[in-house]
Structures are given as structure tokens and as C-alpha cells.
């Protein structure tokens, strides 16, 4: 692995190996980019770490979910950069030049699906595959002005993908428009098992209050008015959950850290892996969490999931900011990026801990940069969320 190629640092500079695809199908003619945690036959899977890449053998088969898109006519155009071992949220990998955010070049793309988001936002791909453990579809989509769905946990196979924290890992993808997004969803998701229409928009004050400041709050309120125009009323602010946002954040962090160390700890401990800042410390934190602590947090997580399921019922949808604001500036200090990350995870962790789907929509702008609004629905309501998203995006475009 010699670095990146192209003006946006989105794609890895790898030898070109032919990848066959169907010549017809619903995705025929669409260009497909794939995050480098997924196997593509003939390519090594580097996972954002040069030592991983050097030690890997070429994949003998393509990850089934990726193969399904190729079999539907999508044309592979390259593997995209990922944050190191997919354990970051900013799109900054110490081993590679940072991907460029075409929607806000002075700001980060978000990660860990950084190259995939840059490729779609920059028009280098029509569809780009990513993954979402702690927000790695939703944050880059919000930062780069894209559509991004964190799918119901376990609904799309992750066979042939590098695991980070399996109880949290999900498959995801980026696109600029809802028509393309829905075509991919039809291939990968099939029909929803959840059939009730969304009739109760809901809000949690603790989440709405996590936006960065007055400008973000004003823009978010404007976006919510668009949602209200489609759903027939403003989201109803409900009583606080019994679990605070701080508790949920730490529950997520401990479970993610524990599982990440279980998957990668032995390899990391085997040599100096030259892990980048932030990634190194997160793995070290995971090493301190024992099985008893993880079991305790798992039990608390189940309690939260049941509470959120009861709140949503069959017809509720939670409306929330995707991230605290626009993407952080690339020039921000390491400490400022960490502070933003911790605030963002308090918004992003609900979907991860519950396993319920969440879609982010490119509706807003703050300081000239994209700012997304999210919808979180009940388990297996993925395509219903997409249909609602299409209506909201259409209403937004009419009012623009």
C-alpha cells in the first residue's frame, strides 16, 4: 500500500485488479467504491493500517453484501481510505493524507468511512460502501452533505468485513440522492418486517441540547419545521429517558472498547503497530475493561433498548441532530477534536446501543458547511425511514 490517489485522497493507490460485475440490473451504470475493511476478491484488506495490509493475503472472495451490489450491475471503481482499524470518527489517519471534504474543504470528512464519503461527495462514485459502529456512516454523511443510514443491527451481512465491535458493527452506504440510495436499499434490505406508518414524531430535550451553540440551534429548529410539515405536527418532546446521555455514552464506550480489544488486542500487543494518536489510546482503554464490566454494561444496554422500543412503539420516530454541528475544522487541535467527538457520540450512541436504524439527511448548513438531521425508528424500519426521508427531502427542496 503506497498511499492514496486522486485529488481528494479518497481512494487507496492500489494495483488495479479486474472485478467482475453484472452488465445489467437495477444498479447498472453506477460506480461503486468500497471501504477498505471489506474483502474484494484479489485485493488485500488493509483496514487503514500499513502493517495489516502487508500481512494480509489477497481476498479469495468478495464480501457477500458487496457482491450483491456487483451482481446488481454496480461497477467497482476502487477501495477507499478508512480511519485506522475503523476506530475513529474524524477521518484523520496518521498513515495517509486526509481525505478532502468536497462540501467544506477546510473541514474534516468524518470517519471511519472517510474515503467513501469523500468519493461520493466529490462525484468520484455514485455509491460508496462504509460501516457504522459508533457513527461512521452518519457523521461523515452529515459532514459531507450526504444521505447515510445506520441499518438495523444484523440486517445486512458483515461476512467478509473486518470486525471492530461486533455487537455494534453495521453495514452502510453513501449516496447523494434518495433515488440511488433506495435502489441500493432494495437490493440489500428487501422488504421491511416493520409495516406501521410513522405517525408520532418525538424529541428528547437532552439530545436537542447537544448542538454546539445558538447558530446550530436556530438551524436545527428550522430543519425540524420541515419534518413537522411532512409529519403533520412538530415532534413531541417526551420525558427524559431513565439513562442519561452521559451514562449511555460511557456504556457505548466501554462495550466498544472491550469488543475492539477482544478482536484486535492480541495483534496489537504482538509488536509496535505504530497506531496513530487517539486510536492508540482507545485500544489501550479497551484493554482495561474486563468481562465482568462488559457484562454489566450489556445488561444496562438491554434495559435501555427495551425503554427506547417502548417509547417508539410501532409508529414513533425520534427526530434528533445527527452531530453537534458542522464538521470540525482540519486545523482544530487534537483536544478540540476529541471534545467534539465525545459530544457527537452522545448523539450517535442511541442507535448503536439499541440496534435500531437511523438515517441522516443533508438538510442544513452552518457556517457554510453541511449539518444533518436524523430520524431514528423501530427495529427493521429501515426502508420506511428511507421513504419518510424521501418525503422530507422533497419538501425541503420545494421550500428552498
DSSP one-letter string for 319-382: EEESSSSSPPBTTS-HHHHHHHHHHHHHHHHHHHHH---EEEEEEEEETTEEEEEEEE-STT-H
Q: 192, exposed or middle or buried, with CB in 10 Å at 0-12, 13-18, 19+?
A: buried
Q: What is the pLDDT of residue 350?
A: 98
- Rounded Cα distance between 35 and 220, Å, is 30
Give start and end residues of each alpha helix (H) in the chain.
50-55, 64-71, 114-121, 138-144, 178-189, 205-208, 214-231, 245-269, 279-287, 291-312, 334-354, 382-399
Task: Indicate the residue among 189, 216, 236 that finishes a domain.
Answer: 189
Q: Catalytic site residue 16? A: no
pLDDT, position 4: 85
Q: Do 166 and 212 fall within a single domain?
A: no
Instruction: Answer yes or no: do 144 and 211 share one domain.
Output: no
Domain-located, residue 259 = no
- β-strand partners of 78: 33
pLDDT, one tens digit per residue, over 336-345 is 999 999 999 9
pLDDT at position 1, please? 55
pLDDT band at 2 (very low <50, low <70, confident <90, very high): low
Of residues 88, 113, 116, 136, which has the active-site annotation?
136
How many domains would you assign to the chain? 2
Residue numbers of the domain that contains 359: 200-245+291-399
Predicted local confidence at residue 138, as pLDDT: 98
Residue 136 catalytic? yes
pLDDT tens readout for residues 103-161 = 999 999 999 999 999 999 999 999 999 999 999 999 999 999 999 999 999 999 999 99
Residues 6+ apart with CB under 8 A from 263: 163, 164, 165, 166
Is 35 inside a domain boundary?
yes
Mean pLDDT of 42-67: 98
Closest to 187 (Cα-Cα) out of 173, 176, 177: 173
Q: Indicate if 98 and 35 belong to the same structural domain.
A: yes
| In a domain? residue 204 | yes
Cell (9 digits) for 205 = 430535550
Average pLDDT over residues 255-263: 98
Length of the chain: 400
Segment 218-239 mean pLDDT: 97
Average pLDDT, the chain: 97
User: Is residue 114 flagged as an active site residue?
Assistant: no
Return the CATH number at 207.
3.90.1300.10
pLDDT at 198: 96
Which position among 98, 112, 167, 351 bears the catalytic label?
Answer: 112
Q: For residue 399, what pLDDT band results from cuts at 50, 70 and 90? A: confident
Q: Is the pLDDT of residue 228 over 60?
A: yes
- For 112, other C-beta atoms within 10 Å of its C-beta total 34
Amino acid at each position: 500500500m503506497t498511499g492514496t490517489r486522486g485529488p481528494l485522497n479518497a481512494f487507496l493507490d492500489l494495483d488495479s485488479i479486474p472485478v467482475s460485475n453484472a452488465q445489467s440490473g437495477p444498479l447498472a451504470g453506477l460506480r461503486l467504491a468500497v471501504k477498505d475493511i471489506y474483502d474484494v476478491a484479489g485485493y488485500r484488506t488493509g483496514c487503514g493500517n500499513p502493517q495489516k495490509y502487508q500481512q494480509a493475503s489477497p481476498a479469495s472472495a468478495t464480501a457477500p453484501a458487496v457482491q450483491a451490489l456487483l451482481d446488481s450491475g454496480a461497477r467497482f471503481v476502487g477501495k477507499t481510505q478508512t480511519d485506522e482499524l475503523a476506530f475513529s470518527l474524524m477521518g484523520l489517519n496518521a498513515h495517509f493524507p486526509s481525505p478532502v471534504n468536497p462540501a467544506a474543504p477546510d473541514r474534516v470528512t468524518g470517519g471511519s468511512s472517510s474515503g467513501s464519503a469523500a468519493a461520493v461527495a466529490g462525484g468520484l462514485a455514485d455509491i460508496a460502501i462504509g460501516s457504522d459502529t459508533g457513527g461512521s456512516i452518519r457523521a461523515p454523511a452529515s459532514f459531507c452533505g450526504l444521505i447515510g443510514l445506520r441499518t438495523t443491527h444484523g440486517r445486512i451481512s458483515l461476512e467478509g468485513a473486518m470486525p471492530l465491535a461486533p455487537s455494534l458493527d453495521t453495514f452502510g452506504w453513501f449516496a447523494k440522492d434518495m433515488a440511488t440510495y433506495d435502489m441500493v436499499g432494495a437490493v440489500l434490505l428487501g422488504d421491511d418486517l416493520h409495516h406501521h406508518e410513522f405517525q408520532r414524531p418525538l424529541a428528547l430535550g437532552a439530545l436537542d441540547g447537544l448542538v454546539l451553540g445558538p447558530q446550530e440551534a436556530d438551524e436545527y429548529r428550522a430543519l425540524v419545521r420541515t419534518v413537522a410539515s411532512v409529519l403533520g405536527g412538530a415532534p413531541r418532546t417526551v420525558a427524559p429517558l431513565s439513562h442519561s446521555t452521559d451514562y449511555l455514552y460511557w456504556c457505548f464506550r466501554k462495550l466498544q472498547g472491550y469488543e475492539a480489544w477482544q478482536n484486535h488486542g492480541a495483534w496489537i500487543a504482538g509488536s509496535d503497530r505504530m497506531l496513530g494518536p487517539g486510536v492508540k489510546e482507545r485500544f489501550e482503554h479497551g484493554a482495561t475493561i474486563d468481562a465482568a464490566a462488559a457484562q454489566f454494561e450489556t445488561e444496562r444496554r438491554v434495559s435501555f433498548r427495551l425503554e427506547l422500543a417502548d417509547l417508539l412503539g410501532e409508529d414513533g420516530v425520534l427526530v434528533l441532530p445527527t452531530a453537534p454541528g458542522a464538521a470540525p475544522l482540519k486545523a482544530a487541535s487534537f483536544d478540540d477534536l476529541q471534545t467534539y467527538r465525545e459530544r457527537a457520540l452522545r448523539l450517535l450512541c442511541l442507535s448503536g446501543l439499541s440496534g435500531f436504524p437511523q438515517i441522516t439527511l443533508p438538510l442544513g448548513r452552518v457556517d457554510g458547511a453541511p449539518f444533518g438531521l436524523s430520524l431514528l425508528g423501530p427495529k427493521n424500519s429501515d426502508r420506511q425511514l428511507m421513504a419518510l426521508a424521501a418525503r422530507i427531502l422533497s419538501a425541503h427542496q420545494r421550500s428552498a
